[in-house]
Homo-oligomer: A and B are copies of this chain.
Amino acid sequence: MEHEPLLMIPGPVPVPLRVRAAMARQAVNHRGPEFGAAYADCVRVLKTLFGTENELYIISGSGTAGMEAAVANFGRDRTIVSLVNGKFGDRFAKIGQRYGTVRTLASEWGTPLDLEGLERELAEGAEVVTVVHNETSAGIRNPADEVGAIARKYDALCIMDGITSIGGDTVEVDRWGVDVAVAGSQKCLAAPAGLAAISVSERAWDRIAEVRPFYLDLAAYRKSGTGTPMETPYTPAVPLFLALREACLMIEEEGVGARIERHRRMAEAVRAAAAAWGVEIFPTIDGRHAYSNTVTAMRIPAGITDGDLRGTVRKFGIEIAGGQDHLKGKIFRIGTMGGIGAQEVLATVAAVQYALRKSGHPAGDGVQAAAEVLG
């Protein structure tokens, strides 16, 4: 029972003690066999979570560094189609604009992607597609499998942001035809923030850009990562690798299937609470798009301010997330990623329910509804 704030945001997430203890040990030589073994353990488990047999490397940097590595190494001077229905789709487009020619296919945040537009752009010669699998800004899961299939049909490269899905939802990089996929340490993996994992297909390696950035040059990661011991090209954030290794071992112990099912139940419990409260789930889904398995975005009921809602919840030591950019004040979001379990979800749902009622919203018994899912 630590009285640190409970982060129920879409990452960074609470980090289990075992992981933090692994991080707190003394520094090891990053050019030695012990570090190499830790790196290799991470790669082994991450490949399972990615659903890939592609090469996979780890960058000391945030998920955004991983997104940029993907775009800079494989999108430079190319035409990139960016599918956008939220903040991170938009971020891919913004990164793309620094390296290539971007065709943005923008949908309203939280509404389905324009897959017909994607076919059109690819038919016209675009060479790279970017897609966000799980768009946390809007709480929607995008059909990365279909995007991958369409990209393959036109022989384009598919770059996928799996930062907030990998480890918490089914991801099948190889089966979907995703060439470059990115995960973040501080999301469903329940490790601390600061590392990005990136997998690269043979098709992508064959098309790597001639001019690449230095720190994010994936050819350098490949060169250092295929020796013995496994190394990184520049000094890695050693404690974060040791932490991620422990987090990966915990994932193996839980089992990948059980872990994804746990994530599914936690998100389902939050949605059940929202229904009981009379609070609307934000995203608009269809047969291809789904509610996120790892974060639930809901509309703030009329007459309640974001500050009141989250401020009241914070008094219980719980942090939930607001909306980003133009959704500030309009939605709130509850992350259920990583090690989050029934205990944390019940406490959070209870706090939100209290806050809603305190602000005058006639919320029904969401705690009971959530408990029924979790029980």
- Interface residues in A248-285 by Cβ distance below 8 A to B read none
Select from chain B the residue with minimum beta-carbon distance to A11.
Answer: B235
Which residues of chain B come closer than 8 Å to A240, judged between CB atoms? 194, 237, 239-240
> What is the 8 Å Cβ interface bit string for chain A, positions 1-42, against chain B (1 contact, 0 not)?
010110101011111000011011111111010000000000
Asked if A4 and B20 make an inter-chain contact with CB atoms under 8 angstroms apart, the answer reads no
Q: How far is the CB of A279 from chain B (nearest CB, A)?
A: 23
Q: Which of A49-69 contact B (CB under 8 A)?
A: 60-65, 68
Q: What separation, in Å, do the CA atoms of A28 and B15 have in the docked complex?
A: 10
CA of A14 to CA of B26, assembled, Å: 6
How many copies of this chain does one complex carry?
A: 2
State A234–B212 Cα separation when bound (angstroms).
Answer: 21
The reply on A43 being an interface residue by CB < 8 A is: no
Chain B contacts for A193, CB-based, 8 A:
27, 30, 60, 235-239
A26 with B4: CB separation less than 8 A: yes
- For the complex, what is the distance from the CA of A2 to the CA of B25, rounded to whole Å? 10
A167-208 interface mask toward B, CB cutoff 8 Å, 1 = contact, 0 = none? 000000000000000001010000011110000000000000
Question: Pick the contact of A25 from B20, B72, B194, B216 — CB < 8 Å?
Answer: B20
Residues of A within 8 A of B (CB): 2, 4-5, 7, 9, 11-15, 20-21, 23-30, 32, 60-65, 68, 72, 94-95, 98, 184, 186, 192-195, 211-216, 234-240, 243, 319
Q: Which of B28, B60, B94 is the one whose CB lies under 8 Å from A194?
A: B60
Partner of A62, one of B7, B60, B212, B243: B60
Closest to A94 in B: B214
Whether A61 and B29, one on each chain, are in contact in the complex, defined by CB atoms closer than 8 angstroms, is no
Determine the chain B residues whose CB is within 8 A of the CB of A216 once the complex forms.
Answer: 215
Q: Is the CB of B194 within 8 A of A194?
A: yes
Top-9 shortest CB links A-B:
A194-B237, A4-B26, A24-B24, A64-B234, A20-B24, A62-B235, A62-B234, A65-B215, A192-B239
- Is A15 a contact partner of B32 (Cβ separation < 8 A)? no
Are A20 and B26 in contact (CB-based, < 8 A)? Answer: yes
A5: chain B residues within 8 A (beta carbon) = 26, 28-29, 32
Closest to A71 in B: B214
Residues of chain B with a CB closer than 8 A to A237's CB: 60, 62, 192-195, 237, 240
> Which residue on chain B has the smallest CB distance to residue A95?
B214
Known pairs A214-B64, A215-B64, A235-B186; A319 contacts B29 (CB<8 A)? yes
Known: A62-B237, A98-B214, A194-B237. 8 other contacts (CB 8 A): A5-B29, A20-B26, A30-B193, A68-B214, A98-B212, A192-B239, A193-B237, A239-B239
